[in-house]
Amino acid sequence: MGLVMLVLAAPLLQVLLVNRSPWGGPDLVALAVVWLAVARGPVWGCAAGLAAGLAADVTPPADGTVGRAALALSVTGLLVGWWSGSRPLVAAGAGALLGPLLQSAAAVALGDEPWRAAVAGLPLTLAWMVGLGVAVGAVLARRHPAERVMRRV
């Protein structure tokens, strides 16, 4: 329940707080998806990616293609869930980078944004994401070591 709330509240926090920071900021939606994927595995990660991405797509002021972030983040959630079985730290860090990268790529591919605009804020976001993604992985690896071993077997 808490995790579902996290996924649905992430787009709101993103537009209310994070995006107004002048020093860039993390992509909270992608982080929430990575969290769920590492904690619960690929199926949950994929479902969370779809739900959170769809929410992010329709949260004003987003006006790109509906389903763009949903597609990018469901792929991210699935991959992170797969990788996290053996190495949660690496999986979380890589997934946190993959989320924003895939979203920007999708925005350019679908013609929603010119590529110069899409890459303009990307380096700062990626710097935030790699740090916070590894932190998420570390927290979860410490919290659920037993679950992870069971799932891997």
Partner 1 sequence: MRRTFVLLLLGTAVLLVVTDRWLLPLTSLRAAGAAVYGAAEGAAGTVTRSFGGDGRLRELELENAALRAELLSTGARSVSAPPRGVSASRGVAAYVVGFGRGQRVTVDAGSGSGVVRDVTVLNADGLVGKVTWAGAGTASVSLITDAASSVGVRMAGSGELGVVTGLPGEGLLRLSLFDPDAPLRAGDQVETLGSAGGRPYVAGVPVGAVTTIERVPGAATRTALVRPAARLSALGLVTVIVPEPER
The binding site for partner 1 (CB under 8 A) comprises 11-12, 15-16, 19-20, 22, 42-43, 46-47, 50, 53-55, 57-63, 65-68, 70-71, 74-75, 78, 110, 113-114, 116-117, 120-121
For residues 65 and 151, give the distance between their C-alpha atoms in angstroms, rounded to a whole number.
36
C-beta closer to partner 1: residue 82 or 141: 82
Q: Which residue has the tokens 């389903």?
A: 67
Shortest Cβ distance from residue 113 to partner 1 (Å)? Answer: 7
Which residue, 2 or 61, has its beta carbon nearer to partner 1?
Answer: 61
Question: Quick one: 3 or 65, whose CB is closer to partner 1?
Answer: 65
Single-letter code of the amino acid located at 93? G
Give the Cα separation of 141 and 68 in Å (integer).
30
Q: Which is nearer to partner 1, 122 or 138 (CB)?
A: 122
Distance in Å, CB of 44 to partner 1, minimum: 10
Least Cβ distance, residue 138 to partner 1 (angstroms):
27
Of 2 and 22, the one with the shorter C-beta distance to partner 1 is: 22
CB of 12 to partner 1, least distance (A): 6
Among candidate residues 37, 34, 36, 42, the one with its CA nearest the CA of residue 128: 34
- At closest approach, how far in Å is the CB of 142 from partner 1? 27
